[in-house]
Amino acid sequence: MDILETDAFYRRQRRNMSCSLFVHLVPFFLATAAYFYVWTPASVGSTMAAGVKSAPALLLAAVVLIWNGPQSLLGVAGGLLCSALGDFCLVWPEQLFIHGMAAFAAAHLLYSLTFLSTRYSSDSSSKWPRVFYPVLFLTGGSFYFYLYPYLQKAPDSELLVPGVGLYILLITLMGSLAVRTRSLITVLGSLVFMVSDVTLAVQVFKAAVIENGTVVVMVTYYLSQLLIAVGDVKTVESNDDFSKWKRA
């Protein structure tokens, strides 16, 4: 098999794998649609709402596990499971907000470790990703500075002031390491996740009023998790294809 035939073969294989991946993602799309169909403000605090809200992240974790294997439990699949736990907790924000924030912080830590792994190629000779690092950290620090007075007014301010600061540091680190991967899907997923969390934070701590804020938060949240999950699957798929191409 010459190079042209090998290239054509793996292009067809990638198309077939993309179709198969889409089929595996159908339950996630249905679960996401179900959430927006059944969600109402009155559903906050119900077990059914917690299950429906957590289902999309659980289904994405299952997809990553199927495609990337059990080792992804210490990576993106594990981060999605932590996110599902965070979704569950935030259905009871008055009682379990800090628990939910801790679950999402663990998810960002797992994502960060994954983006540092050798599965994600990074061109160390390129300087352009480094330009974004100070921008992201400056943005994160500025947002914390903006949010700080509102955190001090919160009932659990002694926990929230340092906790939110640590959380912002972790999600900013996750976004920076996503940029390092040079994977467009992964970078978009991490940045959209940051937008989702900023939108949620300003509402939770009453720093701003956003029309249809909950819809904005959840649309960007589910989109970010989808992009991160697909980016992880595609990264493994690309590495496998490259290894096979070299052996051909």
Q: Which two tokens stand for residue 94?
A: 């008055």
Instruction: Average the pLDDT over each of 2-11, 139-148, 158-167 and give the range with the smallest value.
Output: 2-11
Q: What is the domain count for the chain?
A: 1
The answer to whether residue 127 sits within a structural domain is no
DSSP 8-state assignment for residue 92: S
* Tens digit of each residue's pLDDT (9 = 90 or more) over 70-121: 999 999 999 999 999 999 999 998 889 999 999 999 999 999 999 998 878 6
Helix, strand, or coil (residue 248):
coil
Rounded Cα distance, 60 and 22, in Å: 12
Contact by Cβ (8 Å): 89, 97: yes
Whole-prediction pTM value? 0.87
Amino acid (one-letter) located at 98: I
pLDDT class of 162 with cuts at 50, 70, 90: very high
| Average pLDDT in the chain | 86
The answer to whether residue 13 sits within a structural domain is yes
The average pLDDT across 212-225 equals 94
Q: Which domain holds residue 66?
A: 3-121+132-247
User: In terms of Cα–Cα distance, which of 230, 237, 134, 240 is closest to 179?
Assistant: 134
Cα 232 from chain centroid (whole Å): 11
Rounded Cα distance, 140 and 235, in Å: 27
Amino acid (one-letter) located at 90: L
Contact by Cβ (8 Å): 146, 200: no
Rounded Cα distance, 180 and 121, in Å: 9
The answer to whether residue 126 sits within a structural domain is no
Residue 207: predicted pLDDT: 87
List of residues 6+ apart from 42 with CB closer than 8 A: none
The answer to whether residue 67 sits within a structural domain is yes
Q: Which two tokens stand for residue 34?
A: 């179900």
Rounded Cα distance, 190 and 182, in Å: 12
Q: How far is CA 186 from CA 14, 78, 143, 151, 177, in A?
A: 18, 16, 23, 30, 10
Rounded Cα distance, 187 and 208, in Å: 27
Rounded Cα distance, 64 and 66, in Å: 5
Q: Please indicate whether residue 20 or residue 16 has the higher confidence score (pLDDT).
A: 20
User: In terms of Cα–Cα distance, which of 237, 241, 246, 243 is closest to 69?
Assistant: 237
Helix, strand, or coil (residue 119):
coil
